Amino acid sequence: METIASVLTDTGWSPYAAGIGIGLLSWLSFLISGKPIATSTTFARAGGLIEEVIAGDKARQRPYYKKIKLQVNWQWMLVVGIVLGAFLSAIISGDFQVGVWVPSIWASAFGDSALLRVLVAAAGGIILGFGARFAGGCTSGHGISGTLQLAVSSWVSAIFFFVGGIITAHIIFHVIA
Amino acid sequence: METKKQVSEDKRPLFFGLGFGILFGFLLHKGGATQYDVILGQLLLTDFTVLKIMLSAVATGMIGIYFMKSMGWIKLSLKGGSVGMNVIGALIFGVGFAVLGYCPGTIAGAIGNGYLDAIVGGLVGILSGTWIFALMYPKLKDGILKMGDFGDITLPRLLKVNDWVVVVPVVALIVLLLFWIESTGL
């Protein structure tokens, strides 16, 4: 019989359990904090703060950083929490990955070179980070929080995230590979 | 004393943010969404885990959010948009999504899960990508980002109908779509 403890240490839950849980979390987030769950602006703030450390005050003068405000705020703590929550779940379910550089689907098509995978991941990250700020949100802010509010901007974004992603994934694995 | 109390009150939202993040990260990992293989499986249309998580979150969330809105307990927090942002920007995002194999939320989860390509490659890339956007923003903001501007409206406002006229069919469609995905065995 499953106990509460054994449920928490299960490696995987039904995607519906995880999804409904995230939906319930969005209720609490709106009710208690008055904010939707979103993540990508935090990466832009972190980028700006890094520029400030390296290059000094001129980072703060950039119009974009003035707009989003370079500070550690609610959403920043949310992103820190995601790292901790995933770590906690991975540890208690024995799924924490040690020394894994190359995911298996990638390895099956492109081999197990860590350098190649890291370079491609970095290139993908640049495109993703640029695109997230261009679109004004990501799979969390638009894809979940915006669509559940029925925002037009978010439904359009979510659809085109997947259009772009599906086409690109097929090119990578069925044309290039 | 006075100022100390004020500081601790100001910090309370940050603790809630951290707590919601921990729960979100926990659920993302439990659902499998912190794995490159699961995300690429979705984009290659061989594994529908990501869509199942997202659609069940959206359907659940929508019912509660619109109920709380109708009771006057909460206000919506909508993002403005335009064709330039939400078509072109989202397509760029999609390309990065497939090349990286994580998105901004799931990469935070993948880092917690220990995936090194996420930490060393992906995180550095995302930070750089947002910085490049910040450099280009003055040139983009009055041009392509404004192209086809449609503001921060909701579907019910666009269609000029009561919220529930949209919420009920959208939730029903999501449930039907999920049943259909299950029936195909994906």
Instruction: Please write the tens of the pLDDT for every residue from A158-172.
Output: 999 999 999 999 999
Q: What is the mean pLDDT of chain A?
A: 96
More confident residue, A1 or A112: A112
B180 sits in which H/E element? helix B163-183
Which range among A162-166, B104-108, B181-185 shows the weakest confidence by mean pLDDT? B181-185
Residue B4 confidence (pLDDT) above 70: no
Prediction pTM value: 0.95
Residues of B in contact with A120 (CB under 8 A): 99, 121
CB pair distance less than 8 Å for A43 and B60: no
What part of B 42-61 touches A (C-beta under 8 Å)? 43-45, 49-50, 52-61
Q: How far is CA B62 from CA A74, B18, B134, B158, B160, in A?
A: 22, 23, 32, 17, 18
Q: Which tokens go with A68?
A: 């989003």
Residues of A in contact with B31 (CB under 8 A): 12-13, 15, 17-19
Checking B3-12 for CB contacts under 8 A at 24+ apart, the result is none
Of A17, A105, A144, the CB nearest to B40: A105
What is residue A149's DSSP assignment? T
Residue A133 confidence (pLDDT) above 60: yes
CB pair distance less than 8 Å for B18 and A80: yes
Burial class from Cβ neighbours inside 10 Å (0-12, 13-18, 19+) for residue A72 reads middle
Q: Which tokens go with B164?
A: 């529930």
Q: What is the pLDDT of residue A72?
A: 94
- CB count in 10 Å sphere of residue B184: 7
Contact A98, B99 (CB under 8 A): no
Q: What is the pLDDT of residue A115?
A: 98
What part of B 86-115 touches A (C-beta under 8 Å)? 86-101, 103-115
The residue extents of the domains of chain A are 1-96, 101-177
Tens-place pLDDT, residues B26-61: 999 999 999 999 999 999 999 999 999 999 999 999
Which range among A55-59, B94-98, B164-168 shows the weakest confidence by mean pLDDT? A55-59
Residues of A in contact with B40 (CB under 8 A): 103, 105-106, 169, 173
Paired with A167 in beta bridges are none
Q: What is the pLDDT of residue B6?
A: 55
Tens-place pLDDT, residues A17-56: 999 999 999 999 999 999 999 999 999 999 999 999 999 8
Q: A69 CA to chain B: closest CA distance, Å?
A: 12
B157 sits in which H/E element? helix B155-159
Tens-place pLDDT, residues B132-143: 999 999 999 999
Q: A2 CA to chain B: closest CA distance, Å?
A: 16
Tens-place pLDDT, residues A114-123: 999 999 999 9
- CB count in 10 Å sphere of residue A28: 15
Q: What is the pLDDT of residue B140?
A: 97
Q: Which tokens go with A69?
A: 């405000």
Residue A1 confidence (pLDDT) above 90: no
The mean pLDDT of B68-81, rounded to a whole number, is 97
- Maximum distance among all Cα pairs of chain A, rounded to whole angstroms: 60
Q: What is the pLDDT of residue A80?
A: 98
Paired with A110 in beta bridges are none
**Residue B119 and residue A91: Cα distance in Å, rounded?**
18
Buried b / exposed e along B47-65 (16+ C-beta atoms within 10 A): bbbbbbbbbbbbbbbbbbb
Q: A10 CA to chain B: closest CA distance, Å?
A: 8
Q: What is the pLDDT of residue B2?
A: 46
CB pair distance less than 8 Å for A30 and B94: no
Q: What is the pLDDT of residue B1?
A: 43
Residue A79 confidence (pLDDT) above 70: yes
**Residue B49 and residue B42: Cα distance in Å, rounded?**
7
Contact B44, A169 (CB under 8 A): yes
On whether ipTM exceeds 0.90, the answer is: yes
CB pair distance less than 8 Å for B43 and A168: yes
